[in-house]
Structure 1
Amino acid sequence: MQRSPYLSIARFVRTPGVRALPLLCALTLTACQLPAPGPRTASTALGVSEAQATPLGAAIAGELAAHPGLSGIDPLAKPLEAFAARVDLVRTAQRTLDVQYYIWRNDLTGTLLLEALREAADRGVRVRLLLDDNGIPASLDATLAALDAHPNVEVRLFNPFAVRRPKSIGFLTDFSRLNRRMHNKSMTADGMATILGGRNIGDEYFGATDGVVFADLDVLAIGPAASDVAHDFDRYWSSAPAWPAHEILPAPQPAQLDTLDRAAQAVQTNPSAAAFIAALQEKTDVRRLLDGTLPLEWAPTRLVSDDPAKAQGKAAPESLVLSQLRDILGEPKRELDLVSPYFVPGEVGTQYFTQLAANGVTVRVLTNSLEATDVLPVHAGYARRRKALLEGGVELFELRRAAGTQTTKEQAPGAFGSSGSSLHAKTFAVDGQRVFVGSLNFDPRSANLNTELGLVIESPALAGKIETAFWHQVPQLAYQAKLDASGSLYWIRQTADGTTRYDTEPNSRWSTRLAVWFFSILPIEWLL
C-alpha cells in the first residue's frame, strides 16, 4: 500500500528512464500548475423528510423511532461481507449516493463497485464521487472522466495533480500542497445508511489478492451517524481542494462506459472473482437491515472529522480530529486498547502513552510486526520509540504476517510493499465504554497532514469485544515485544506448544533490519 507522497517520490526517481523528467518539469513549471478554478455545481445531502421518504428510510423508520437519538451500528470485520455490503448499499439507494475514498484501485473490486455506481446512476440515483487524487491510478482517468459525463454522476478529485502521467512530478514542483491528502473513507446511501472505517476500495482490502491482504474493520451505521456523515461529505464536496473532474481529466470518450461494462462482465466470469460474486448472492447485512433481521448495537455516536482546510494547512487546531477526540473522550482512567497499523507515536505521543501507564492506566497497542508491515519507513518510525514505550509500561503486540499459521522461512518486505497478511484496522477502546472506528492512524501524517474521519461510539458491548480480543485473541495472533533485565528487546509468541522467544525481530533478515535502522535515523518522522 502507498503510505505517503514521500514514498511516491522515492519510487518515482528510481524508475529507469524518468530521472530527467523532474528537471524538465522544474524548467517548465507552468505545465505543472492547476488550471484556474471554474464554477462548481451546488449540491447538498437530502433533507430529513426527503431521506425518510426513501425506501431505505421507510425500511428503518420503525427501528429509528424505537431508539430515538441513537445510531444503529453493525461491525463489518469480514472482508467478503464488507465488500458485498457496499455493493448492496449502492443497489439499495434510490435518491443519492455520496462516496468518499482515499484509494480506489482499477482492479477486480474497484471495477465491480464502479459498475454498481454507474448502474445506480442509470436508474436515476444522484452519485457524487469524491476521490483523493493520490490514491487513484492514472489508468482510471478515462473511466472517471466518462462517469463524470453521465448526467447523474459528478466526480471531484481532492487536491489533484496537474500532470497525470507520472503524477510524481507534481511532488517535485508543489510538494507542500500535494503532501497533504484526504484519507477519509465513507459511502452513504440516501442520507440514511453509511459504511465507514479503515477500508479503501481495492482487492487487498477485501481479500481478493494473492499479495498483501489487509485485516480491517468498518461499520455499517444508520440514524444520526449516517446523517452526520452525509452532511460532513457536503463540507468536503464544496471545499476548495475538491476539484471538478472535468477541469483536471482529459475529455471523456463516449465509448468508455461500454469499456467499463465489458471489464465488469469479464470480472464476473473470472475464476478469481468467484468468491465475490458468490458473496453478492448471499443475504448481506444491508439486506438484513432492509428486512428487519439485522441485529444492531444501538448507541450514542459522535462524528469526528477534520476541517477540509487542513489539506491547505489552514485548519484551526481545535477543528482537528485529535483535538475533537480529546474533548469527547477525556483522559482514560482504567485502560486504553489501541489498534493502529501505522503506529508512529513520535516524542509527544510516546510521552502521552507512557504518562497514562504511569498513572495506572493499562495501555495496550496492536500494530504490525516487521514481517507483516507493508511499509518499512513507517515500521522504522515505530521501532524508534519502541524501547521508550516498553520502559514506560506500555504493552506492545505486533501482528504476525499470517496470523494463526507457522511462518516457515524468513520473509523480507520491501520499502514500498510486501506479501502476506497485514493489519489495516484503525480502532481503539477507552475504559471498556467507548470505541473509535475510522480512518485515523496514530502517526504524524494523520495528526498533522492528512484529513481523517471516524465515529466515537458509546458502547460497552463493542468496547468489551476489543478488550476481550486483547486478553484472549491478540496473544495468539501476535508477537509481544518485551525488555529483558538488561534493557534488550525480545519477542515472545504463544503457541499450543508453549512460548517461543525471539531475540531479533521475528522472521526478518539482517538486511531488512538494517534498512529499518537506516530509515529510523533519517529526519522523516513528520512525513510518516
Structure 2
Amino acid sequence: MAQALQQRSASVGPRFLLACLSACILVLAGCASLPAHPDRTPSYASTDTSDTLLASSLAPRLARNPGQSIFYPLGSGPDALAVRMALARAARKTLDLQYYLFDADTTGSALLGELIDAADRGVRVRLLIDDLHSTNQDKLWAALDAHPNIETRLFNPFANRSARWAEMMVDFGRLDRRMHNKLMVADNLVGVVGGRNIGDAYFSARPDVDFSDLDVMVAGPVVQAASKVFDQYWNSESAYPVAALVPEGKEAPEELRRFRKEVEAKGDVARASPFVQELLDSGLARGIEVGHLPGHVGSARVIADSPDKIENDPDDASTHAIPRLRALMEAAQTELVLISPYFVPDDDTEKWLAAIAKRGVKVRVLTNSFAATDVSAVHAGYAPRRLALLHAGIELYELKPTASTGLTQDRGRHARTFASSRATLHAKAYVVDRRFLFVGSPNLDPRSSRLNTEMGVVLDSPTLAAWFVSDVDKRLPEIAWRIGVRTDAAGQEGLTWTTMEQGKEVTTDKEPGMSVWQHIGIDFLGLLPLEDEL
C-alpha cells in the first residue's frame, strides 16, 4: 500500500507542480490588461515649416529639381550619430522618432539630451518606441513624456510591466509581432531612414561589438511620405501613450522632473565626451546646423508596412511592404545585389531567387557568417539552403568578424563602404541593376516578411548605386568568405570558404569559427520548426 502511494505521489507530483506553475503564470500575466480606451489624441506632421533654417537651405536646390529628393548615405556609425544630433539642433518646429530599440547608453543619452534641449526651446517632440526592448525604461519614457513638449508612445506594449516573461508565455501571438521601423524626421523636411537602432553598438561606440549598418539622410518629397508613415503608426490602435501604461507617472510629477534632470545631466556628460565632441565638430554636423546638406539628387519613394500588419493574419499580404520590394528586385535585368544580415530564405524565396538567376541576372548575397552573426538560430535557418542556392547560380558571401565594415564617408567624398573593428553585419541594402538602391529595416527572412513591420526608401540614382556596388565588390575578397562547392572522393558535396588573408587567397572546407559542438548545436536548431520566427 505504501509503495503504491509513493508511486502515485511520484506520478502526480510533477503534474501538480506543472499545474501550479501554469496557474502562477496565468495569475501574473492576468494581473494587468491594456487600457481599453487610452487618451490617444491624434496628431500629425507639421506642414508649417517654410520659415525654418532647414526649409530655407533646401528651397533653392529643390526648386532647381522639382519633384526630386536629396539623399546622402550614412555608413559610418559616427556620421550617423552626428547627423541625428545635428538635425535635433537644427529643428525649429518638430522632431519625430520611431525606433525598434532605443538604449539610454552613452550615445542614446547624448541624443536624448539634444531632444530635451529641442523641446525646451519649443520644438514638439514625438517618440514612438517598440516595447519589446524597453524593459526597465518605464521611468525614462514617463519622465520625458512629462515634458510639455514631448510625447512618448509605446508600440504593441506589454500590459504587465513587471512580469513580461509571463505575459509573453500566455500572449505570445500578439507580443511576437513587433515594429522594426527606424526613422527620425526634423521639421518634416529632413529625415534619417535605415537599419540603425539607437545605441552604442550602432554608432561604433562599443569596443566589443560594432553593428555595421547603413542609413540614408533624405530631404524633399520623400520626407513628407515618410512622415505620413510615422503618423499612421503614431495614431494607430497599437501605439499607447506611456501615461496610460505607467500611471505612477501622473502621480509623481516632481519625482519625474527630478529624474528628467538626471537624464539631462547624463546627456550633458555624454555630449561633453571627446567622442561626441569630435562628431559635433565635424564638417558634416556643422554643415547641417548652418543649413548646408550634402547629397545626391534623384527620385525616391518610401516602402513601408501598414501598422495594421501586426493585427492581421501573417499570411494576409494586404498590409505588407515586402511584395513591393520583391517586385522591385524581380524587375532586375542584369544584376541583383542583396545585403541582409539575417538571410533566411524559405522554399518560396529560394525558388524566387533561383528563377531570377535563371534569367541570366547575376545575383550576389552578402550575409553574416556563423563567426560574425549575433543570432545562431538565424544561421541554422540559413545554412541548409546554401548548397541549393549555389547550384542555382547565386553567389554567396559571408562577412568575417574581423572585417572592416560600415559605409563611411571621408567628410566630403565617399570612402570605403565597409570600416569598423569587430564586425557584425546589420545593414539592409538591396541594389537593382546598379540604378535602384533600397535602404531600410527589412531583412530577407520570414520575420520581416510576415511578422514585424518594416520600412525603407528606394533611391533612383545610378551614380550612387553604381558606386555602392563597385565599392562592395572591391572589398568583398578581404571582408568576406566566398562560399563554394566541393565534391569529395565518395561523391559527397560539401562547402568551401575562400578569402584573402594578408594578400594571399586562402580556402578551407571547415566552417570558420565553428567548433564541433557548435556544429552539433546548429544542426539541432535546424531541426526545430523555427523558420517562421527567424
Question: If the length of structure 2 is used for normalisation, what is the TM-score?
Answer: 0.88
Alignment deviations for residues 435-475 of structure 1 (CA, whole Å, 9 cap, x no partner): 10000100000000000000011111121123213421112
The corresponding residue for 1:311 is: 310
Q: 1:475 to 1:166 in 2, by over 3 A?
A: farther
The corresponding residue for 1:178 is: 175
Query: Would the aligned equivalents of 2:329 and 2:336 in 1 still touch at CA under 8 Å?
Result: no
Cα distance in 2, alignment partners of residues 277 and 247 from structure 1: 37
The corresponding residue for 1:150 is: 147
Q: Cα distance, 1:291 vs. partner? A: 4.4
Cα distance in 1, alignment partners of residues 270 and 22 from structure 2: 39
Aligned partner letter, 2:346: G
The corresponding residue for 1:15 is: none
Aligned partner letter, 1:249: V
The question of 1:494 aligning with 2:500 is answered yes
Query: Would the aligned equivalents of 1:268 and 1:274 in 2 still touch at CA under 8 Å?
Result: no
Alignment deviations for residues 59-79 of structure 1 (CA, whole Å, 9 cap, x no partner): 211111111111100111111
The corresponding residue for 1:16 is: none
Matched position secondary structure for 2:188 = coil
Aligned partner letter, 1:227: Q
511, 519, 522: which is aligned to 1:513? 519
The question of 1:427 aligning with 2:432 is answered no
Cα distance in 2, alignment partners of residues 151 and 269 from structure 1: 24
Alignment deviations for residues 47-95 of structure 1 (CA, whole Å, 9 cap, x no partner): 2xx1222221112111111111111001111111111111111111111
Aligned partner letter, 2:26: A
Q: 1:329 to 1:65 in 2, by over 3 A?
A: farther
Cα distance in 2, alignment partners of residues 294 and 507 from structure 1: 43
Any stretches of 5+ residues in structure 2 without a counterpart? 1-18, 406-420
Query: Would the aligned equivalents of 2:29 and 2:163 in 1 still touch at CA under 8 Å?
Result: no
The question of 1:188 aligning with 2:194 is answered no
The corresponding residue for 2:452 is: 450
Cα distance in 1, alignment partners of residues 58 and 380 from structure 2: 47
Matched position secondary structure for 1:463 = helix
Aligned partner letter, 1:312: E
Cα distance in 2, alignment partners of residues 52 and 353 from structure 1: 45
Question: If the length of structure 1 is used for normalisation, what is the TM-score?
Answer: 0.89
The question of 1:380 aligning with 2:386 is answered no
Query: Would the aligned equivalents of 2:201 and 2:211 in 1 still touch at CA under 8 Å?
Result: yes
Cα distance in 2, alignment partners of residues 464 and 206 from structure 1: 25
Cα distance in 2, alignment partners of residues 292 and 67 from structure 1: 18
Q: 1:241 to 1:421 in 2, by over 3 A?
A: same
Query: Would the aligned equivalents of 2:226 and 2:302 in 1 still touch at CA under 8 Å?
Result: yes
Cα distance in 2, alignment partners of residues 277 and 323 from structure 1: 43
Q: Cα distance, 1:353 vs. partner? A: 1.1
Cα distance in 2, alignment partners of residues 506 and 330 from structure 1: 33
Q: CA RMSD in A?
A: 2.2
The question of 1:483 aligning with 2:461 is answered no
Q: 1:90 to 1:295 in 2, by over 3 A?
A: closer
Q: 1:58 to 1:404 in 2, by over 3 A?
A: closer
The corresponding residue for 2:70 is: 72
Cα distance in 1, alignment partners of residues 478 and 108 from structure 2: 33
Cα distance in 2, alignment partners of residues 237 and 293 from structure 1: 30
The corresponding residue for 2:403 is: 403
The question of 1:468 aligning with 2:439 is answered no
Q: Cα distance, 1:295 vs. partner? A: 3.2
Matched position secondary structure for 1:351 = helix
Query: Would the aligned equivalents of 2:29 and 2:167 in 1 still touch at CA under 8 Å?
Result: no
Matched position secondary structure for 2:283 = coil
Q: 1:119 to 1:314 in 2, by over 3 A?
A: farther
Q: 1:23 to 1:118 in 2, by over 3 A?
A: farther
Alignment deviations for residues 501-525 of structure 1 (CA, whole Å, 9 cap, x no partner): 1211112222222211111110010
Cα distance in 1, alignment partners of residues 29 and 519 from structure 2: 40
Q: 1:357 to 1:307 in 2, by over 3 A?
A: same
The corresponding residue for 1:10 is: none
The corresponding residue for 2:204 is: 207
Aligned partner letter, 1:183: H
Aligned partner letter, 1:283: G
The corresponding residue for 2:16 is: none
Cα distance in 1, alignment partners of residues 511 and 273 from structure 2: 36
The question of 1:280 aligning with 2:286 is answered no
Residues 447-456 or 480-489, more deviating: 480-489
Q: Cα distance, 1:498 vs. partner? A: 1.5
Residues 86-95 or 269-278, more deviating: 269-278
Query: Would the aligned equivalents of 2:338 and 2:365 in 1 still touch at CA under 8 Å?
Result: yes
Q: Cα distance, 1:495 vs. partner? A: 2.6
The corresponding residue for 1:11 is: none
Q: Cα distance, 1:272 vs. partner? A: 11
Alignment deviations for residues 178-222 of structure 1 (CA, whole Å, 9 cap, x no partner): 010000000001100000100000110011112221000001100
Aligned partner letter, 2:172: F
Q: Cα distance, 1:264 vs. partner? A: 4.9
Any stretches of 5+ residues in structure 1 without a counterpart? 1-18, 406-418
The corresponding residue for 1:262 is: 262
230, 233, 251: which is aligned to 2:230? 233
Query: Would the aligned equivalents of 1:59 and 1:290 in 2 still touch at CA under 8 Å?
Result: no
Question: Which is higher, the Rg of structure 1 or of structure 2?
Answer: 2
Cα distance in 2, alignment partners of residues 20 and 59 from structure 1: 65
Cα distance in 1, alignment partners of residues 243 and 45 from structure 2: 22
Cα distance in 1, alignment partners of residues 163 and 200 from structure 2: 23
79, 82, 93: which is aligned to 2:80? 82
Aligned partner letter, 2:72: D
Q: Cα distance, 1:271 vs. partner? A: 11
Query: Would the aligned equivalents of 2:62 and 2:220 in 1 still touch at CA under 8 Å?
Result: yes
Cα distance in 2, alignment partners of residues 327 and 385 from structure 1: 22
Cα distance in 2, alignment partners of residues 303 and 271 from structure 1: 32
Q: Cα distance, 1:368 vs. partner? A: 0.5
Query: Would the aligned equivalents of 2:369 and 2:398 in 1 still touch at CA under 8 Å?
Result: yes
Aligned partner letter, 1:60: L
Report how many aligned residue pairs link the two structures: 493
Q: Cα distance, 1:30 vs. partner? A: 3.0
The corresponding residue for 1:524 is: 530
Alignment deviations for residues 475-513 of structure 1 (CA, whole Å, 9 cap, x no partner): 210111111134211101113432111211112222222
Query: Would the aligned equivalents of 2:90 and 2:288 in 1 still touch at CA under 8 Å?
Result: no
The question of 1:224 aligning with 2:221 is answered yes
Query: Would the aligned equivalents of 1:106 and 1:137 in 2 still touch at CA under 8 Å?
Result: no
Query: Would the aligned equivalents of 1:183 and 1:439 in 2 still touch at CA under 8 Å?
Result: yes
